[in-house]
Each structure stands twice: as structure tokens, then as C-alpha cells.
Chains A and B, each alone.
Chain A
Amino acid sequence: MENDKGKDTVAALGGVSKRYGKVEALRGVDLGVVRGEVLALLGPNGAGKTTAVKLLLGLLAADAGTVSVFGGDPRQPAQRARTGVMLQVGRVPDTLRVRELVEMFSGYYPRPLPIAETIAAAGLEGLERRLFGQLSGGQKQRLLFGLALCGDPDLLVLDEPTLGLDVEARRALWERVRAVAQRGKSVLLTTHYLAEADALAHRIVVMSQGRIVAEGTPAEVKAGSAGKLVRCRSSVSPDEARQIPGVAAARHDGVVLELTTGAAEDVLRHLLARDATLTDLEVSSAGLEQAFLALTKGASQ
């Protein structure tokens, strides 16, 4: 996959697997971020998005597969100097000031933005002397975004950047992200909001339970995820159902097996062939949000 894109791929996972004890966080994931694009990793909690991000940042080591950023090991200083990072950080040391934190991170990079520009980009003008502990939740989140941006990186990695932001701050951050991409830089962001990925990304990769379940432009993914909802009583377990090609998500509420799929006919052929006792079959067209909700629920069970 990376080969098709040649040297325009700035960051890539190739067949990467990662497990924590018994939990398989990633199962053979291929992922490539192309120069100048905003790529959204979309999926519910526990889908493996953060694990993918941490592997690309060299914070975790893969059990199998290859990880490369700008053609090198992400742990190398040269790659880190070109990458800006926003992680789900609970807190920053409370007793440092906004300006001090921006100066601290700007100092790490070879050609940082002017301090004032970073503070403006984070929407924190006038709060430079505020201690981090005195900021509101949204301001804290924006400061962390500023720290990712301050080095003027070629690759911006944002893990759930808009968590806890209000609508206005969210839109302002989207604007910033778009501006970064327009300057030919690349952005990888994770989110569990379909609307956010839709508004922002050139390409969406949908993850569920450590696998990529859909990939494409927002329009393509929406078409795929807005497929069908298949409900039936069956002896097929959700785990088995997920093995069927085309099944995006599967859950069992104790009585009814519920599948989300973009290829209902293929899935039905498989399902009926596998379980002759299947009853109460029901196929409905799932609305966009509903389909995504099903996907979310399916993975959390």
C-alpha cells in the first residue's frame, strides 16, 4: 500500500499488530498518511486508534509489522523534530504558565513559530501569564493543541483533539488544522465523532477492535457505513459474524444478532449458508448516525 504512494507517504504502519497481555489492540493494520492530507482515524473507544498513534510516535513498539515516519524510525530525533504531537494528556504541570509551556516546547524544535503566533493559534491571547492549573478545560485542550503546533511540524498528530471543546472552539481548531494541511503539511487525527472526520478529513479510516473496517473519502465511508442493518435470531456468534467479509460490526443482545454492513446481500448469503436454523430475519437501511452508532455499540461489547 505504501509503495503505491511512494515517497509521498510521510508516515506508515505496515501489517502492524500490538497486544497488551490478552487484549489485541491492533491486528495487522496497514495505514499510510500522505503528504498534505488530513487523515482521520475514526472509531469508538478501544478501537485501537490511540495505539496506532503511539506506535507512529515511537512511544510503543509493535509486536509485528513495520512503523516508519519520514522514511525512518519514529524514535529518532530527526523524525521527532518534524512531528508535532497532541496526546490525551490528563494534566500538564499545574504551576507553569502558558507562555512558559509554549516556550519550553518551541525550544525543542529547530524552526518554531513565533511564540505569539502559537498563542494566537491556540486562542490563548491575554492568558500568557496564567498558570496551567487556572485554565478552563477548553483552554487547557487548546494549549495542548498549541504545543503540537508550535514547532511548525511537517506531520501533526492529534489524538482526540476536540475532546471537551465547545462548538465554537471546535470549529476554530478545525480551521487551524485545515490551514496546516493547505501549507502542504500532513495531519493524522483520531476522533470518535463521524461529523468531525467528515468536516475535516480528506480521507477517513474507520477502526473497530483493532482492525480497519472501512477506508476512503468521507463520501465513500458514509456510503459504506450507511449500509444495512441485519437483524436475526441465529446461532452464529458476533465473533464468528465479524469473520464474514463485509461485516462492519456485530453484536448480540442476548436474543437477536445485529450486523452492520455495506454489503448486505453478500453477508446474507454467508449467514444463511452457515446457519440453517436462522429465523426472524430483518434487513433495514440504517441511517448514517444510526449505522455509526451500531458500529460503536458493537465494538464496545
Chain B
Amino acid sequence: MKTLTIYAREQKLEFLRMMRSPMYAALTLFFPTLLYTLFGLMVRPPVPPVVTLVAWSCYGVMGASLFGFGVSVAVERGMGWMELKQASPMPPAAYLAAKLGACLIFSAIIVLMLNALGLAAGGVRLSPLRLLELDIVMVLCALPFCAMGLMVGYVGSPTSAPALANILYLPMAFASGLLIPVEALPRAIRVVAPFLPPYHMSRLAHGAAGLAWDGRGLVHASALLVFTAVCLAIAAFAHRRGTENA
């Protein structure tokens, strides 16, 4: 009971902390909405409307997780806040659980906001059940990027983590075919795409939304799992090195 209260309070405060931080709120909530409005609603790309919705939702979820996790972990590590919490009787898992929870909540907010925009003005036509399925897949796919964010948070310093997250974010979104369909990418990049997690995320999302896809759900899900495991392993390694030398 007591432990549950701690987790719940930690979750609430982490969400408030992020919500009140203008940088994070703007970066993660405002930008995907703006970009979808500009490049999905005002200028209609020559693809089915759901494809555009999926692309910008993926983009938004990636950002929320990479920055929400990575940058805040690096900053709080750098300023000693993490250490103070570690020295307190806080259950050690509560810290990361709260961050994970907050990233999932923010991902869900982004996905729902874009849903609303797409349904209202983007020509998106999906049955409620399909839409729900798509949204669930989207939010679950935040997990690999949370792991990637955690890796950034432990490998990077408070000053280098934001840059590191950005370096991973945009090129990865581009090379995975989120911004331009994979088929239209230069050959050299097309070869790389299947090694990038957003590629698999968007494949799964296409499947959930009932779009034409390759049907290899298990392959894509496994790819994301492997990616998650690799990021967590690197994060754990960097964390251990950090505690030895701190």
C-alpha cells in the first residue's frame, strides 16, 4: 500500500514536472502537431491519409520518449538529483517507473491529438476499433525509444545528451521512411532502414491500421525487442561505469 502510494506520487510529480517544463512540452507536444498540420493537413502528400497520420504519430512518440527519458535522466544525473534520490529510501525502481509512465502518457496524448486532427481535417477514415488498435500499437512502440532515451541519458552528459538525442532523432526518422516513404528513399538509405526501429514501428502500425503491409508482425516486434534489449544493456553498462568512477 505504502509502496503503491510512493509509485503513484512519483508518477504524478514526474508528469507535472514535464508538463510545466516549456521546453519539453513544446518540443514533444507542439512540434508533431504543427508538423502534421503543415505536412499532413495543409499539404496532402500523395499517400493514403492514414499513412501520413502513422508517420507523424511515430515521429511524435519517438520524440516524447527520446527527450523525456534521455535528456531528463542525463540532466538529473548531472545535477546530483538522481544521487540524492538513490540515497533516500525511495524504492529504486520508482524513479524509472515514473519516467516510463510519463513517457507513455505523453505518447498517448500526442497520438490522440493527432488522431483528432486527422479525423477532423486529414481525411482519415478508420473504424473506432481499428483506431484503438493503432493507438495501442503506437503507445507500446514508445517502449524501445524509452530504452534508447535511457541509453542516451546514461551515455551522454547533461550538455551532450540533448544533442545526442537530436542526432539520433531526425536522421533516424528520415532514414526509416517516416518523412519520405522508404520506396522513395535513395538506395543506400533504403538498405539501412530495416535496421532502424522506427521502420519496424511504422510497419506494425500499418498492419494495425489495416493498410497494405508485409504481414511479418513477429519479425518487426522481435526487431524492436532486440533493439530495446541492446539499448538497455548499453545503458546498464554506462550506468555501472558511472557509479564506479563517480
Interface residues of A (CB under 8 A from B): 20-21, 54, 57-61, 77, 80-81, 83, 85, 87-96, 100, 103-105, 107-110, 131, 144, 147, 151
Contact across chains for A91 and B89 when beta carbons are under 8 A apart: no
For the complex formed, measure the closest distance between the CB of A112 and the CB atoms of chain B, giving whole angstroms.
10
For the complex formed, measure the closest distance between the CB of B93 and the CB atoms of chain A, giving whole angstroms.
12
Q: Which residues of the partner chain A approach B244 to less than 8 Å between Cβ atoms?
A: 61
Q: Which residues of the partner chain A approach B90 to less than 8 Å between Cβ atoms?
A: 108
Q: Provided the pairs A60-B246, A108-B89 are in contact, do residues A91 and B79 lie with their beta carbons within 8 angstroms? A: yes
B16 near A: Cβ within 8 Å?
A: yes
Could you mark each residue 75-99 of chain B with 1 if its beta carbon is under 8 Å from any beta carbon of chain A, else 0? Answer: 0101111011011111100000000
Residue of A nearest to B22 (CB): A95
Q: Which residues of the partner chain A approach B76 to less than 8 Å between Cβ atoms?
A: 93
Contact across chains for B83 and A87 when beta carbons are under 8 A apart: yes
Which residue from A60, A61, A80, A92 sits with its C-beta under 8 Å from B81? Answer: A92
B245 near A: Cβ within 8 Å?
A: yes
How far is B228's CA from A145's CA once the two chains are assembled, in angstroms?
A: 39
Contact across chains for B88 and A94 when beta carbons are under 8 A apart: no
Residue of B nearest to A150 (CB): B88
Interface residues of B (CB under 8 A from A): 2, 5-6, 9-10, 13, 16-18, 20-21, 76, 78-81, 83-84, 86-91, 243-246
For the complex formed, measure the closest distance between the CB of A87 and the CB atoms of chain B, giving whole angstroms.
5
- 26 chain-A/chain-B pairs, Cβ below 8 angstroms: A54-B246, A57-B87, A61-B243, A77-B89, A80-B87, A83-B89, A85-B87, A87-B80, A87-B83, A87-B87, A88-B80, A89-B79, A89-B84, A91-B79, A91-B80, A91-B81, A92-B79, A95-B17, A96-B16, A96-B17, A107-B6, A107-B9, A108-B90, A109-B89, A144-B84, A147-B84
For the complex formed, measure the closest distance between the CB of A18 and the CB atoms of chain B, giving whole angstroms.
11
Contact across chains for A80 and B88 when beta carbons are under 8 A apart: yes
B contacts with A: majority SS: helix
Q: Which residues of the partner chain A approach B20 to less than 8 Å between Cβ atoms?
A: 95-96, 131
Q: Assuming A59-B83, A90-B80, A100-B13, what are 16 further A-B pairs, CB within 8 angstroms?
A: A20-B245, A54-B246, A58-B87, A59-B86, A59-B246, A60-B243, A77-B89, A80-B87, A87-B83, A89-B84, A91-B81, A95-B17, A96-B13, A104-B13, A108-B88, A151-B88
How far is B16's CA from A103's CA once the two chains are assembled, in angstroms?
A: 14
How far is B17's CA from A131's CA once the two chains are assembled, in angstroms?
A: 10
How far is B243's CA from A57's CA once the two chains are assembled, in angstroms?
A: 13
Contact across chains for A95 and B83 when beta carbons are under 8 A apart: no
Q: Which residues of the partner chain B approach A144 to less than 8 Å between Cβ atoms?
A: 84
For the complex formed, measure the closest distance between the CB of A19 and the CB atoms of chain B, giving whole angstroms.
10
A contacts with B: majority SS: loop
Q: Which residues of the partner chain A approach B246 to less than 8 Å between Cβ atoms?
A: 54, 59-60
Q: Which residues of the partner chain B approach A80 to less than 8 Å between Cβ atoms?
A: 87-89
Contact across chains for B88 and A105 when beta carbons are under 8 A apart: yes
Residue of A nearest to B90 (CB): A108
How far is B91's CA from A80's CA once the two chains are assembled, in angstroms?
A: 10
How far is B6's CA from A50's CA once the two chains are assembled, in angstroms?
A: 29
How far is B20's CA from A277's CA once the two chains are assembled, in angstroms?
A: 70
Q: Which residues of the partner chain B approach A108 to less than 8 Å between Cβ atoms?
A: 6, 88-90
For the complex formed, measure the closest distance between the CB of A20 and the CB atoms of chain B, giving whole angstroms.
6
Residue of B nearest to A103 (CB): B9
For the complex formed, measure the closest distance between the CB of A123 and the CB atoms of chain B, giving whole angstroms.
20
Q: Provided the pairs A58-B87, A60-B246 are in contact, do residues A90 and B10 lie with their beta carbons within 8 angstroms? A: no
Residue of B nearest to A58 (CB): B87
For the complex formed, measure the closest distance between the CB of B178 and the CB atoms of chain A, giving whole angstroms.
30
Q: Which residues of the partner chain A approach B91 to less than 8 Å between Cβ atoms?
A: 77
Q: Which residues of the partner chain A approach B18 to less than 8 Å between Cβ atoms?
A: 95
Q: Which residues of the partner chain B approach A61 to less than 8 Å between Cβ atoms?
A: 243-244
How far is B88's CA from A81's CA once the two chains are assembled, in angstroms?
A: 7
Q: Which residues of the partner chain B approach A60 to less than 8 Å between Cβ atoms?
A: 243, 246
Contact across chains for A94 and B84 when beta carbons are under 8 A apart: no
Contact across chains for B88 and A95 when beta carbons are under 8 A apart: no
How far is B89's CA from A54's CA once the two chains are assembled, in angstroms?
A: 15
Contact across chains for B89 and A89 when beta carbons are under 8 A apart: no
Of B10, B20, B243, which is in contact with the most chain A CB atoms at under 10 Å from its CB?
B20
Contact across chains for B17 and A93 when beta carbons are under 8 A apart: yes
How far is B83's CA from A70's CA once the two chains are assembled, in angstroms?
A: 21
How far is B90's CA from A162's CA once the two chains are assembled, in angstroms?
A: 25
Q: Which residues of the partner chain A approach B80 to less than 8 Å between Cβ atoms?
A: 87-91
For the complex formed, measure the closest distance between the CB of B35 and the CB atoms of chain A, giving whole angstroms.
25
How far is B18's CA from A87's CA once the two chains are assembled, in angstroms?
A: 24
For the complex formed, measure the closest distance between the CB of B185 and the CB atoms of chain A, giving whole angstroms.
39
Q: Which residues of the partner chain B approach A59 to less than 8 Å between Cβ atoms?
A: 83, 86-87, 243, 246
How far is B243's CA from A77's CA once the two chains are assembled, in angstroms?
A: 19
